[in-house]
Amino acid sequence: MIEAGDRVMVCLSGGKDSYTLLDILLLLQKSAPIQFEILAVNLDQKQPNFPAQVLPNYLDQRAIPYRIVEEDTYGIVKRVIPEGKTMCGLCSRLRRGILYRVATEEGATKIALGHHRDDIIETLFLNLFHAGKLEAMPPKLLSDDQQHLVIRPLAYCPESDIQAYANLRQFPLIPCTLCGSQQTSQRLQIKRMLQSWEAATPGRLESIFRSLQNIELSQLADLKLFDFAGLATQDPIPQPQETASELP
């Protein structure tokens, strides 16, 4: 995911996932056989009571290069989305556009996001149940305009491992008052469903995740990805005829 000479823009929200991502990449930066830069970027969305000094203080103490971007996406989301409706879709689109712009301004060659294995599985089921498509989030993604490479270094990590790591490191976590406050969101419902499956059958989430790496297109039904119309039986292979001299 990371190559020699990369300038990696690590998107830091203040949650356990992005703190863990930044911490691990900093450790790798010291031990990796290649050299790459790290720039932490936080998008201050102007949420009410957001503790604006927590991240700058943390990053200053660790001497980590960073940039704080101030954009009132909170106000836009609250104005556009009716009360009680899910805000995640619009919020994520606004964030993505801003982060792509900042990546260009900063000359970042990679944009690192803190999505983990469980996020990817949840997205798979969200799209399956609500969008009618098999789609999740890949560990590495080229943006639609082909100008940005997005990487998810924690893609293979269970959320429980990240939670344990964050507890051990005692990161100064900042709760989200947008998506994190919506108890009726579809993603939260999916998360609860998956957690109940894992509790009933340990290992089920890992099996689901492995299936994303083991796809049999011929066993699905997408006409764009597999030529079902072109399927045809093969003519039987002619068998050699016995001659009279070969008969006993």
Q: How far apart are CA 162 and CA 20, in angstroms?
A: 7
Query: Nearest to residue 129, comparing CAs of 44, 187, 168?
Result: 187
Question: What's the pLDDT band for 152 if we cut at 50, 70, 90?
Answer: very high
Cβ atoms of 96 and 88 closer than 8 Å: no
Domain ranges, ordered by start, for the chain: 7-219
Interhelix angle 186-200/204-211, rounded to 10 degrees, is 120
Pairing of strands 140-142, 149-151: antiparallel
Cβ atoms of 159 and 118 closer than 8 Å: yes
Rounded to an integer, the average pLDDT of 205-224 is 96
Q: What angle do CA 148, 153, 156 make, to 5 degrees?
A: 130
**pLDDT at residue 181, as a whole number:** 53
Global pTM value: 0.86
- pLDDT at residue 237 is higher than 90: no
* Cα 103 to Cα 7, 10, 149, distances in angstroms: 10, 10, 10
Domain 7-219 has CATH 3.30.465.10: no
Residue 170 DSSP one-character state: T
User: What residue type is 26 in one-letter code?
Assistant: L
pLDDT, one tens digit per residue, over 76-91 is 777 766 665 666 666 6
